[in-house]
Amino acid sequence: MNEEIAYLIGALRDGNITSIPKEGIYRIRFYQKSKLWLELLAGILERNFGRKASFYFDERHGVWCLSITSKKVFQELSKLAEFNGDQSTWLTPTWISNGSGELKAAYVRGFFDAEGSINSFEKTTLDVPEKDIRIYLAQANQGVLGEIREIVSEFGIRCGRVCGPYVKKGSETRMYALMVHGSEQVLKFYDSFNSAHPDKVFRFELLKRSRRGDIDSSVASFRIVWPLEGKDR
């Protein structure tokens, strides 16, 4: 149990954990537009479980897929994640919720990198009203969002209550949302939890430059930045 595994379990909130014992299928998959971020997850998996992941591009949905098919990895990761077989009711592992601040921060960071969003400043403008600057976390699992809210609050960050359910047009899935509003609180979230997702790091750094007048010199393009280089993480 370490920060890398806590991060990975947070990221699994947007992952796919599948087992079909009769067919001998034990598979873990992550889907993302950022292959660079998936490569980060692949490194964590290889270092902690000794297996290399494979990648392919899903043309239908326009995203990359990281896939590992291994009964051993499936069983070990499911045990560490305390996964109950149902994403909609699976809660935070007790060793994280009762663990150190570092473990909790890594878990929230993985959760945010997989399921969270921040304004796409590179596509719009930094001249955004304070009320419209936000971090948005969405999940079908209301319970785990409540747990994330508790951790975020422990770090002194103001956030709203868990809202919902919402049902998107054409979908039957009931979704819930947790938001952090305003540049002060959004940047405090970044200071406390950081991010390892290239696109999101770039957006945080743009906001930080706009509001605080500084920016990490390593952040040159949201297409090529590797967030773990040149940053105290």
Asked whether the beta carbons of 89 and 61 are under 8 A apart, the reply is: no
For residue 75, the tally of other CB atoms under 10 A from its CB is 12
What is the phi/psi pair of residue 68, to 5°?
-130, 125
Q: What is the pLDDT of residue 125?
A: 65
Q: What are phi and psi of 124, to 5 degrees?
A: -125, -110
Q: Is there a contact between 72 and 85 (Cβ–Cβ < 8 Å)?
A: no
The token pair that represents 15 in the structure block: 């992952």
Nearest to 38 by CA among 19, 21, 58, 24: 58
CA 90/CA 72 separation, integer angstroms:
21
The domain 106-212 is placed in CATH, from the list 1.10.3430.10, 1.10.132.50, 3.10.28.10, 3.40.50.1100, at: 3.10.28.10
Give the other-Cβ count within 10 Å of 130's Cβ.
13
- CATH 3.10.28.10 positions along the chain are 3-86, 106-212
State pLDDT tens for residues 86-110: 888 999 999 999 999 999 999 999 9
pTM over 0.85: yes
Q: Which residue do the tokens 């897929």 mark?
A: 65
Question: From start to end of the chain, where are the E strands?
Answer: 15-20, 25-32, 54-58, 63-69, 116-118, 134-139, 163-166, 175-181
- Judge if the upstream peptide bond of residue 93 is cis by omega within 30 degrees of 0: no
Tell me which amino acid residue 63 is. Answer: V
> pLDDT for 170-229, tens place per residue?
788 889 999 999 999 999 999 999 999 999 999 999 899 888 765 443 443 333 333 343
pLDDT in tens, 18-60: 889 999 999 999 999 999 999 999 999 999 999 999 999 999 9
3-state secondary structure (DSSP) of residue 118: strand
CATH code of domain 3-86: 3.10.28.10
pLDDT of residue 84: 87
pLDDT in tens, 132-173: 899 999 999 999 999 999 999 999 999 989 998 888 887 888
